[in-house]
């Protein structure tokens, strides 16, 4: 019993993202990172660019553009045959690799012959992770390194609401692990899962981080490591701002807010499972493995300003009604409309006669606006961005915010959310002002 316990819990979970498996050399470079005596679960993403290409193929199929979808499919297939040529050292394994690639791309090609539905779209999107993990497993076999490939579709599951089914995941991964106690390296796919009806589905773009965290929680891992192409969490988005710096320690709450409000390095939901099970998350760079990276735990050192993140694709709905004045129950009616369309609210500000609400999923925005018009006048503004500053915003402190407003005094601020969280302050701005706002915040808060 004790033996099983140690073979199933207390392992490390190591997730390698798209760039970490982005070309044959990068894939080979993973071996020294995982080949030691410790038992571990290795979660792999698709090679970078693959999921984007698969999305293009499914978009073409939805549009009925079968010829172009087939061309794209062939293009990706030849790219993978080239990967196989460079990845393996022996003809035997090259042959196996080529056969594997052919079987996946034949599978995708078959979908061009039928009516195309959501079900088939999800099955195509799953191919990237299925290929990367199979190739890696094959590479380890060629190098005589013992490993097993544990299909995520055997244990990773979401429920009817699209939320992870933690009980199912835990029970099933434990059962699978009990069947494989002699291998130290357990490889599985990030991103992909089954839904409540047993169909292939996924955890949304960037979802491999979420897979790693869900597995970490299910097996009570000692640590969840997210390996990527940068030395951990930076204090601003390095794609838009120069001289950003790595943050060595973050609390779960701080990391969750940054991830939710747009820091691409982590999937928005990926902190929750780790936080609930109190499992440390470490962000590391596969290109600089000796660097300590960022450690995310329940404790962290408070700092006035720690980091800034931005989330695009936000729409704001402004509801104005004199009926709100001194009335109770008005906000409930407003919220019920969003609930009816299963649309989560991100930010909210109110006055006596008006309320502004932001959403990031505008699928039902017109229906929501139509229903809200029963309550008052409604105005919609799209192409908005939420900027989130994470730091020490405990309400008993004085002087937490002036630097932020001073930094942004040239940017129109559409909404301000302060006091909702002790870790963050959020602002709504036009997306056209995002890069300037991020740069100004870095200049004033961190340099």
Neighbours of 209 (CB within 10 A): 29
For ligand ADP, the closer of residues 265 and 389 by Cβ is 265
Please report which residue ranges of 42-90 form alpha helices under DSSP H. 50-62, 66-87
Binding to ligand ADP (CB under 6 A) within 223-242 occurs at 228-230, 233-234, 237-239
Q: Which stretch binds ligand ASP (CB under 6 A): 23-31, 85-93, 205-213, 321-329?
A: 205-213
Q: Is 50 in the site for ligand ADP (CB under 6 A)?
A: no
Q: Is 45 in the site for ligand ASP (CB under 6 A)?
A: yes
Task: Report residue 94 as tokens.
Answer: 């090259």
Least Å distance, CB 45 to ligand ASP, is 3
User: Which of residues 22, 97, 164, 207 is near ligand ASP by CB under 6 A?
Assistant: 207
Least Å distance, CB 233 to ligand ASP, is 16
Task: Report residue 392 as tokens.
Answer: 């020490």
- Distance between CA 295 and CA 442 in Å, rounded? 22
For Mg ion, the closer of residues 18 and 376 by Cβ is 18
R_g of the chain computed on alpha carbons: 24
Q: Are 69 and 112 in contact (CB under 8 A)?
A: yes
Q: Is 206 in the site for Mg ion (CB under 5 A)?
A: yes
233 binds, among ligand ADP, ligand ASP, Mg ion, none (CB under 5 to 8 A by kind): ligand ADP
Q: Is 208 in the site for ligand ASP (CB under 6 A)?
A: yes
- Distance between CA 304 and CA 246 in Å, rounded? 16
Binding-site residue total for ligand ASP (CB under 6 A)? 12
293 binds, among ligand ADP, Mg ion, ligand ASP, none (CB under 5 to 8 A by kind): none
Q: Is 206 in the site for ligand ASP (CB under 6 A)?
A: yes
Residue 310 CB-density burial (10 A; 0-12 exposed, 13-18 middle, 19+ buried): buried
Torsion of CA 254, 258, 260, 266, to 10 degrees: -100
Q: What is the CA angle 105-106-108, rounded to 5?
A: 65
- Distance between CA 240 and CA 22 in Å, rounded? 22
Closest by CA to 26, choosing from 184, 129, 136, 131, is 136
Task: Write phi, then psi, for 30 (nearest 5 degrees).
Answer: -75, -25
Task: Report residue 136 as tokens.
Answer: 């890696």
Between 351 and 390, how does the x/- string for binding to ligand ADP read (CB under 6 A)? ----------------------------------------
297 binds, among ligand ADP, ligand ASP, Mg ion, none (CB under 5 to 8 A by kind): none
Binding to ligand ASP (CB under 6 A) within 14-33 occurs at 17-18
Q: Is 265 in the site for ligand ASP (CB under 6 A)?
A: no
For Mg ion, the closer of residues 47 and 429 by Cβ is 47
CA distances in angstroms from 67 to 49, 63, 71, 112, 118, listed in the order given: 21, 11, 6, 9, 20
Residues in contact with ligand ADP by CB under 6 A are: 17-20, 45, 48, 206, 228-230, 233-234, 237-239, 263-265
């Amino acid at each position: 019993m004790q033996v099983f316990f140690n073979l199933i819990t207390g392992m490390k979970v190591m997730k390698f993202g798209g760039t970490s498996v982005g070309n044959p050399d990068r894939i080979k470079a993973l071996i020294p990172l995982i080949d030691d005596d410790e038992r571990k679960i290795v979660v792999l993403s698709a090679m970078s660019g693959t999921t984007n290409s698969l999305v293009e193929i499914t978009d073409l199929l939805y549009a009925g553009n079968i010829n172009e979808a087939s061309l794209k499919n062939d293009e990706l297939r030849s790219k993978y045959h080239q990967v196989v040529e460079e990845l393996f050292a022996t003809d035997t394994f090259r042959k196996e690799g080529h056969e594997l690639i052919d079987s996946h791309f034949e599978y995708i090609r078959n979908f061009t012959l039928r009516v195309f539905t959501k079900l088939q779209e999800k099955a195509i999107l799953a191919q990237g992770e299925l290929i990367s993990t199979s190739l890696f497993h094959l590479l380890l076999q060629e190098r005589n390194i013992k490993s097993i490939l544990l299909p995520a579709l055997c244990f990773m599951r979401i429920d009817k609401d699209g939320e992870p089914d933690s009980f199912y995941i835990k029970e099933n991964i434990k059962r699978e692990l009990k069947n494989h106690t002699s291998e130290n390296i357990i490889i599985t796919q990030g991103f992909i899962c089954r839904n409540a009806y047993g169909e292939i589905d996924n955890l949304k773009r960037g979802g491999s981080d979420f897979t790693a965290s869900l597995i970490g929680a299910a097996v009570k891992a000692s640590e969840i490591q997210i390996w990527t192409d940068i030395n951990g969490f930076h204090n601003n988005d390095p794609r838009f701002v120069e001289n950003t710096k790595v943050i060595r320690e973050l609390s779960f709450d701080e990391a969750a807010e940054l991830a939710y409000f747009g820091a691409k390095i982590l999937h928005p939901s990926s902190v929750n499972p780790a936080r609930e099970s109190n499992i440390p998350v470490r962000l590391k760079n596969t290109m600089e493995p000796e660097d300590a990276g960022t450690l995310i735990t329940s404790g962290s050192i408070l700092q006035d300003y720690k980091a800034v993140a931005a989330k695009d694709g936000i729409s704001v709905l402004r509801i104005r009604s004199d009926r709100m004045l001194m009335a109770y129950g008005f906000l409930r009616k407003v919220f019920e409309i969003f609930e009816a369309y299963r649309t989560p609210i991100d930010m909210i500000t109110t006055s006596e006669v008006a309320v502004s609400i932001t959403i990031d999923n505008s699928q039902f925005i017109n229906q929501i606006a139509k229903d809200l018009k029963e309550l008052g006048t409604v105005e919609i503004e799209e192409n908005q961005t939420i900027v989130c500053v994470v730091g020490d915003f405990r309400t008993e402190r004085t002087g937490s915010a002036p630097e932020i407003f001073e930094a942004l005094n040239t940017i129109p601020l559409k909404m301000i959310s302060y006091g909702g969280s002790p870790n963050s302050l959020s602002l709504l701005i036009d997306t056209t002002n995002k890069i300037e706002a991020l740069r100004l915040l870095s200049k004033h808060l961190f340099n």
